Each structure stands twice: as C-alpha cells, then as structure tokens.
Chain A
Amino acid sequence: MTAIQENLAHVVDDHADHHHEHPSWLAHHFDDAEQQYDSGKLGMWLFLVTEVLFFSGMFCAYALYRNRNPEVFEFCSSFLNEKLGAINTGVLLFSSLTMAWAVRAAQLRQHQLLVGMLGATLGCAAIFLGVKAVEYSHKWELGLLPGKLYVAQLDGAHGPHKGYLEFICTVPAIVTALCALYAIYAFATKSLFHQRVAGPMLVAGLCFFGGVGLGQYLEAQEEASKGHGGHAGSHEHHAMVDGHVDHGSHEHAAAPDSVHAAETKTAAEIAASAASAMGGSPNVYVSPTELKTPNADVNQRSMAGLFFSIYYCMTGVHAIHIIGGMIVITWLIVKAAREEFHEQYFGPVDNVGLYWHLVDFIWIYLFPLLYLIT
C-alpha cells in the first residue's frame, strides 16, 4: 500500500488530521514505540510459555517412565558422554552471555559490536550442534536407537553401519561452502554490509566443524579409557567377554559358570518372556555383570528403547529449536549489518534474546536429567 493510499484512507474515514510522524520502524497500527515494544515483548513471553508447555509434555513423559523403570534410565544414561554434555552446557551458557551483550549493544547503537556478539552466539550454537552430531552418530553406530529400532550390540565394536557422522555433516558442509562463497563475494565487492553478514556466517559454519572435531577427540578419549578399564564404559568391555545370547533360545546359550551369571540369565529369560508375552520380539543380550542386578534385563528393545526414544525426542526437539534460533539470529545479523537498531527500536534483538535464553534454559534441565542423574 502506498503512502498516498494510506493517507487517503485516513481522510476518507475520518477528517481528523492524523499525520504525526510515523517512522518506518514503527508499524502503522501502533501509536508509539513503547506500545510496539510492549506488544512484541508480551507476545514473545506468551510464545515462550507455549514453548515451555510444548517441552513439558516430554518432561512429563520422562518423569512417568523414569518413575516406572528407574533401572532402565540408570543403565541407559551411562551410554551418554557427560563430558560432551558438559561442554555443550558451557557453550550454551556462554552464548547466552553474548546474546545478552548483543541486546546491550543494540540499545547503545554499537553496530559493529552487535554484529560481533550475534556472530559469537551463532558460532556457539554451531559448536553445540557439531558436538551433538558426534554424540548422535556415535550412538547410531552402536545401535542405540529409539523404540523398535533399538538394536544395541554391546560388544564394544561398532555396528555394521558407519559413516553417520559424514552423513550428518553433509548439509552443514554445503552451508559452510556457500557461506565461504558469499564471504569471497563480500570481500571482493568490498561491501561493508555483505562483509558484516558473511563473516559471522562463515565463522559459524567453521565452528560447527570445530565442534565436530572437539566431540570426536573427546569421544575417542572415552573409548581409549574404556580399553584401560575406565569405569564409564566398562560394561561394554565385559559384555564383549561374555558374548551375547541368541535371539530367544536361551537354553542353548553357553552356560555361564558362576551362580551369579546363572541368575542373570534367568532374569534375562523372564524379560524375554515378558517381551514376547507383550507381543514384541525378544531381543535380549547378556548384559554387564558388574552393574547391579536389575540391569540384567534392561538392555532390550522394550526397555532401553524407550529411554532412547525420550532422549532423541527431547534433545532432537531442542536441537530443532537451536537451528530455528540460528535462523533468526542470522536475520538479526542482516538487520544489524544495516544498522537498523537503536535505543527506540531494539525489540527484535531483545525478543530473540529471550527465546535464546529459553532454549539455553531448557538444555540446563535436559543435561542433568539425561546425562547426570543416576
């Protein structure tokens, strides 16, 4: 709609002369900057409420099933690498700081700093996703998949499928390559605007691979420590020694020699019969003897699978929120590069900041619930 049309409409409705200054950043239906800011802020808070409720469904599911099978959750959370989780927690906390700083910079018209801070936030998000990619691909290789896809082989060796990490990295690699091309273009044309946008994007793309490298290094360290009898992965090591029982036919499995092992086998059988009584196919492996008894029957689809369903749902939906956040932060970088923000108009930065803090906050709950509590 052109300005003329808008003016005409006003004249037609009502004679009142109503043409006080209406700057471009103020939407036509708002009276003043304060009203616009308040509306945006309230809207964002309400949206955050819906986000919290959205996640609360999964937290409820977590609480319900944890309450029902605490031993499954204890057993399964030992597969999660706390070091990677802790690093991601730190990265996200730091990104919250840079985001808050960005809001300050927007209010003070420090455009260069604003772009920098938004870029830093974007980079942290990328590191987070890189580490997450390593975690996911490692679990997929072990067959630690959700629900009925769960096919864990706890013999320490990786399963037949490899290369999940490369698969996950394809899209980020393409995006990073495009960012690099864009950066080349920006520096070639010497456009400050394009440089301000392309720089942070390229850095973020590279950060993702930094995160992947970091994750792989730590994961490899973890594996190495397993080999030397480190506690975290010891169950996998022992499982390899015991070998695993064939699908279903427990009588014919090599009879373990100790009474303790015999009990384990019986428990496994009960679990198998329970599984088959429920209609699911029994998929039982002898599990670590060191872990306390109930663990014997938890490494099966109908038990551990559920934990990993909840794990993937919660962290997956959280990761989608991170990606969504990255997209809006990129949009903010574009606006910031155009120097649109000032002390009267910084609502978008403020609101995205609120969203980012919430995403961070949810991770702060996810990390202990999934990785730490035993």
Chain B
Amino acid sequence: MSFFLADQVAPYAWFPEGASSFAPQVDFLFTVILWICIVFFVPIVIAMGYFMWVYRERPGYRGSPEALHNTAIEITWTVVPTIVVVWVFWEGAMGYLDMARIPKGTVDVNVTAKKWQWAFKYENGGEHDVIPVENSSVKELPLLVLPVDRDIKMIMRSDDVLHSFYIPAFRAKRDVVPGRYNYMWFHTTKEGLYDLFCTEYCGDNHSQMNAKVKVVSQEEYKKALDKAIQEPEDPLARGQLLYKRQGCSTCHNAGAEGASGPGPSYNGSWGKPVQLESGAEVAFDENYVRESILNPQAKARKGYGKASPMNSYAGKLKDDQIDALITFIKSLENANSATKK
C-alpha cells in the first residue's frame, strides 16, 4: 500500500534522490530490510487470516487443543530471525563506520547552529549566501554551496541548544551539540539543489530552521568561494571584514566584537608602547602590526608568548589586505579596552 501511495503522490518512491556516496549503500540496505520485512510479514498475515477462517468457531467444529509445543519449529523461528538480524546489524555497522571515519583531504565547512538559523563558513573564511524560496513560511534560506565529487567535512557547533544537521538527499545526519564540536562528512556525487533540515527540536521556529544545499561543479564552487570572500573597497570596512573572515576575531577582541582572548585586545593599543616578552619596549605602529601578522613570535607581547602561539599569516594575506587590517586596528586607537562582551 505504501508503495502505491509513494508512486502516486511523488515522482520518486521511498527515498528522495540520492546525492552522496552514502545513498546507494543506505538505500540498498533499506531495500533488503524491506524485503526481509515482507518475507516475514506477508506469511504472518496470511497465516493469521487462514487460521482465522479455517479454525473459526462454528457449530459442530471443535479444534484440537494438542498442538502446544514443538521444539523443532520453535528453534527454527528463533534461529532464523537471529541470523537475519545479525546480518542486518553487520551491514548497518559497516555502513556506519564509513560515515564515521572521516577521510583526509576534505573540503571543510564550519557550521554554526543557533536558534533558528544555520550559518556556514567556507575554508577561505567566506560566509554563506542566501537563496529566496517560494511556497514556504520563510522568504529566504541560507545557501550552502558545495563542490561535486569531493569529500566534504562539516565541523559543527551550536551557540545555544541542541540542533541536528540533516540532508535527506545525502542520507546523512549528525546532532550539533553545544559545548563541543561534532563532525560529519559525505562525498557528493550529484549536482543539484537539496534540502537541509534541523531535526533536533530546538524551540519555536524549529520547523523553519532549514537551509538549501547547492552542489555545483568544482569551477563553480571556486567562483562561489571567491564571491564569498569578495572584499569592499573602503579599507576600514575591508579590514573589519578580514578581521572576522581570517579568524582574528576568534582570539583578539576589537571594539565590542571578537573573543576576549587568548590574544591581546586591539582596543586602545595603537600608538602606545608595548612590553615584550624579552623585557624590551617597542611602539605599536604599522611595522609592529605587520611583523606580528607575518611573524607573530618575533615580538610577542609580554604574557602572550608561550601560552597562545599564533600562526603566521605569511602567504595568506596580500599586502593591501594587511594595510586594510592596519587601518582597522588604527581605528580602534581610542576604543575602550574594558568594553568587552
């Protein structure tokens, strides 16, 4: 009956079209399980119906109450299902291990879930775009662009409560748990636009916490990445954007933004003398900032040398980007360092 329903109301049957390397494996196992179920269920129902009719209570008929025990048949119907479920378990566990073992050389995406919004950040620091949607209770949804035929790794964290990252077309799901990172990966196999749902109840707009996933060719993905990090002309705005995209904000506080550690705050630093780990004092100027970006350990500020080694940004930033960052830090000259979150 369900087959019939499925065929009638949508162009596909049990599953949405598969678009990851997990899909064939999951669909295969499910189909086998489905047939196992049919092989068990249909005879049970037929036997039930047959017994109902043949042994029904009627005048002149009295059943024989002898058949109460039959060791052979009881062992059979214990052993056969056991073998079947052992196989099902094995297949499922092997498939799961594929899903759990994250390969090397993945395209990484940072996922942040919060009530009731998905946020995606690409490897180059670019952030997700949005896509307008029709026939929905929301106007637009976040759009995650992924390259086809690549291993993709999701690095997921939650800002507030539990969420769960689920793309039916990929047959992949993983909870997003506050206070820790959860990972998942999949190998995209097919270009297209797919749905992404939050499947762990997270409050009022849980059912609107959706997104779209667009799997595109690798060239298009590159274009999308470039677009994601396009920078504004104005050096100050550009510096501010780079501050966030390049991850400076994860360690350094600036204005009211960014984390309050482990790196020193930018606020109110410009132009003032800096105490170094070596005991010397230098001026906080363009040269100092540039050197600190390209070779952070050279003149580490007192108290920050060993505990929080910053990685060099040499080769990651172009000169004009560094200029923009300098402009940004300069603008914080008079910012109050106490204005942290």
Contacts and interface: CB of A to CB of B under 8 A. Distances in A.
Interface of A: 248-252, 262-263, 265-267, 269-270, 272-273, 276-279, 282
Given A248-B338, A266-B307, A269-B262, 19 more contacts: A248-B260, A250-B261, A251-B264, A251-B265, A251-B337, A252-B338, A262-B302, A265-B303, A267-B307, A270-B261, A270-B262, A272-B261, A273-B260, A273-B261, A273-B262, A276-B260, A276-B340, A279-B159, A282-B260
Nearest to B179: A278
A272 B251 CA distance: 12
User: Across chains A and B, which 7 residue pairs bring their CB atoms closest together, nearest first?
Assistant: A273-B261, A266-B307, A269-B261, A270-B262, A249-B338, A276-B260, A273-B260
Given A262-B303, A263-B307, A276 B264 contact: no
B22 to A, nearest CB: 32
Contacts of B303: 262, 265-266
Interface residues of B, number: 17
Contacts of A263: 307
21 contacts: A248-B260, A248-B340, A249-B337, A249-B340, A250-B261, A251-B265, A251-B337, A262-B303, A265-B303, A266-B262, A266-B303, A266-B308, A267-B307, A270-B261, A270-B307, A272-B261, A273-B259, A273-B262, A276-B340, A277-B259, A279-B159
Contacts of B265: 251
A272 B253 CA distance: 13
Interface in B283-328: 302-304, 307-308
A203 B50 CA distance: 78
A276 B308 contact: no
Contacts of B308: 266, 270
Nearest to B301: A251
B139 interface: no
Contacts of B159: 279
Contacts, number: 43
Nearest to A256: B303
Contacts of B304: 266
B341 interface: yes
A147 to B, nearest CB: 15
B203 to A, nearest CB: 16
A270 B304 CA distance: 11
A278 B265 CA distance: 19
Contacts of A252: 337-338
Main secondary structure on chain B at its contact with chain A?
Answer: loop
Contact of B259 (A249, A265, A267, A276): A276
Which among A262, A269, A270, A276 has the greatest number of chain B C-beta atoms within 10 A?
Answer: A269
A278 B302 CA distance: 26
B338 A276 contact: no
Nearest to B264: A251
A273 B260 CA distance: 6
A87 B302 CA distance: 50
A165 B188 CA distance: 65
B264 to A, nearest CB: 7
A325 to B, nearest CB: 38
A293 to B, nearest CB: 12
Contacts of B262: 266, 269-270, 273
A186 to B, nearest CB: 59
Contacts of A250: 261
A262 to B, nearest CB: 6
Nearest to B268: A251
Which among A248, A251, A263, A267 has the greatest number of chain B C-beta atoms within 10 A?
Answer: A251
A39 B338 CA distance: 69
Interface string B72-104: 000000000000000000000000000000000
A70 B308 CA distance: 23
Nearest to A267: B307
B46 to A, nearest CB: 45
Contacts of A265: 303
B307 A272 contact: no
B249 to A, nearest CB: 11
A279 to B, nearest CB: 7
Which among B259, B260, B302, B340 has the greatest number of chain A C-beta atoms within 10 A?
Answer: B260
Nearest to B263: A273
Contacts of A266: 262, 303-304, 307-308
B163 to A, nearest CB: 15
Which among B259, B307, B308 has the greatest number of chain A C-beta atoms within 10 A?
Answer: B307
A351 to B, nearest CB: 42
A250 B338 CA distance: 10
Contacts of A273: 259-262
Contacts of A267: 307
A273 B340 CA distance: 11
Interface in B226-255: none
A246 B262 CA distance: 17
Contact of A276 (B179, B302, B337, B341): B341
A302 B251 CA distance: 20
B27 to A, nearest CB: 38
B72 to A, nearest CB: 40
A265 B262 CA distance: 11
A272 B179 contact: no
B254 to A, nearest CB: 14
A248 B265 CA distance: 12
Contacts of A249: 337-338, 340
A269 B303 CA distance: 10
Contacts of B341: 276
B258 to A, nearest CB: 10
Which among A252, A265, A273 has the greatest number of chain B C-beta atoms within 10 A?
Answer: A273
A251 to B, nearest CB: 6
Nearest to A246: B338
B14 to A, nearest CB: 40
Contact of A272 (B260, B264, B338): B260
Which among A252, A263, A265, A276 has the greatest number of chain B C-beta atoms within 10 A?
Answer: A276
A276 B260 CA distance: 8
A300 to B, nearest CB: 13
Nearest to A249: B338
Nearest to B304: A266
Contacts of A279: 159
B137 to A, nearest CB: 29
A123 B179 CA distance: 47
A148 to B, nearest CB: 15
Contacts of A282: 260
Contacts of A248: 260, 338, 340
